[in-house]
Structure 1
Amino acid sequence: MFKVGVGLGNFTNIPCRFYSPSVKAKKLVFHEFGDPPKVVKFEEEVVPEPKPDEVLIEMLVASINPADINIVQGVYPIKPRLPGVPGNEGVGKVLSVGRNVKSLCVGDRVMPNTENLGTWRSHGVFKETSLMKVRDDIPLVEQSATHSNGATAYRMLKDFVALKEGDVVLQNGANSAAGQHVVQLCHIWGYKSVNIVRDRPNIAELKSYLTGLGATHVLTEEEFRKTELFKSGDVPQPKLALNCVGGKSSTELIRKLAPKGIMVTYGGMSREPVIVPTAMFIFKDIEARGFWITRWTNENRDSEERKTMLCELMDLIKENKLVAPTHKLVPISEYTEVLSDTVNPKGLRGMKYLFDFRL
């Protein structure tokens, strides 16, 4: 039996075989909410045969995002049933399909099409509707980031301000995974980006890296507070500011916005509130907005707008215009060290971790 693949890309004919080999999965599980390095445990299980509407997949890579950490901590708006497997993002390969499955075949590459799928596992059985077939001709790490980091950057640049070529976008946390996507998309679309990062011993190296991605300017928090960049007229005042830090950093972004500018908050890495001076609202008519990619996705899961976005992001990856954020691939056996580093409040690790189940 053969089917022609459909979805985000072109596929050749792939045989659809209905079989279920005996597979033992390695997975991470948490039975209670709390500190990830303490509550997440390693377990193994024999994977059951997929039911008629289910698919058995082998995970290839799975991202470790701040949202995953917040879910384990129990502070995220969406909470899984316990015991749960963390992980919202990743790329897998279909090993077996149930007899009623129509949209997927053995060998297809897939990504989650729902939240809380539980991707921190080597193998799993999932509903057909919880998976999305994706193209298999682009790198796994870049592809894994499209649904969260890439989509977050894309939507924030598209949905709040009608930007045109030469306009300025301001952001803090520019070395975050989403921030690096913002840098690249601004460069691709002809926007100027002013990027704020925290000072660190290798700041020159970080500035050079972000500039290489296409950043127009890169400043430390201290340099940004003192900058005359906008007053001098060398750079137009930004119409859009993107905030993933909060606290004093977000206040500084607000102060630099053009009149009627918009600041979009999508994270709070400092764990401090966003404080907007009253004068910014009254005299500059500034808007403070929020963005959550999970909410947007739930409202647009099957929309043409979402399909267009994902196709465009994957085309940019294929064309080598959009590269993965700084990252490190690690085996699942190193989960304790990875989680400990990820929850470090200093937040200067400067890279995104992904579990690589091929290691």
Structure 2
Amino acid sequence: MADPGKKTYRVLVLSVIKHAYLPDAVAAHPRFALVAVADDALRPDWTHERNQKYADMHAIPYCRNVEEAFRNFDCDIAVISSEAERHCDLAMRAVRAGLHIIVDKPLSPDVQECQSLSELIKQSGLKGMVWNRNFLPALIEARLALSEGAIGDLLAVHCDFYFSKDAGPPKETETMGSPPIDWLDRQLEAHADGSDGGVGTQPMGELQIEGIYPLAYINSICSSPFERVVASTATHFHQANVDNQVDDLAALSFVLENGVIGSLAIGRIGAASHPDIGEIKLHLIGTKGALVVSEARPEVGLHYKDQPKNEFKNIRIDNDNDFLLMDAFADALDCGTELPLDIETACNIARIIDAAQISANEGREVKIS
């Protein structure tokens, strides 16, 4: 647990240009202090504006030269919240400069980049973590129940991971002859409500953007590598996904090396599809029983007069996920303990997602290498 009497780690924020939950979580923990924001000088104006705004909010400097920031600010850790396509480049530069890293999800849409980063950090002896939700109360309870033998030996697992959020105009609502929706423009627009996880010039489907969350759940529960996968994907809800030829809905069936079978259904299914944030559940079947875990629990419902239509009515409580993740990172730095989602594991999840996309494109089972 957090010990304010121990060293406070100095943190450099690299390119905080999307939702800021990651650097905010770092700043909220007593063992970590944000020292500066940095990015490359030749980035577009909108990235500099967002970086400067975040730096001003925290009363820290913004440096438009990443290598200069490495030299001048004497930091221990780099926190990376850039476009996903830049995650690994910034992370590898930080590791080469001797910094531990915390990277926003997904690690990268490029599996080879993930592999290169995984090998580099292993050689360096530094610590690296990818942001995750493995310490949500429901996930902690699920792992505890399994460890205590509540349902016997695990045989099968299924995860529903649906976000009831919009992503621009619904499919086929644009007028005939309208130009295709530009991916980056749409993501910049989405920044207003924090749903810009896919920001960047490279379009990404929901499986690539969000798939690491449920696959990290399954990895933490099953403690076994994935062996093979069969998948199908669709573009069912959002015109931006249609125009950019990326999925907003996917289904995976898989087998783990320990014999556990599983499946995942994932998608961004539109605000009208669900009264809450979406259906996010784990179904676990064992030799002695079964367990259904709702990720959102515990939660309370909040309803009042003139409540905004877009405000979620249910509020999660007793959720210390972000604090516990940073606790785990501090323990890893202090004592060398394991991380809840290290770079190697995140790289393996990137391989699963890549294999699933190959399976969906080619209509066949794919062995995960």
TM-score interval w.r.t. the shorter chain?
Answer: 0.3 to 0.5
Considering Cα pairs closer than 8 Å and 6+ residues apart, tell me whether 1 or 2 has the greater RCO.
Answer: 2
Q: TM-score, normalised by structure 2?
A: 0.33
Larger proportion of helix: 2
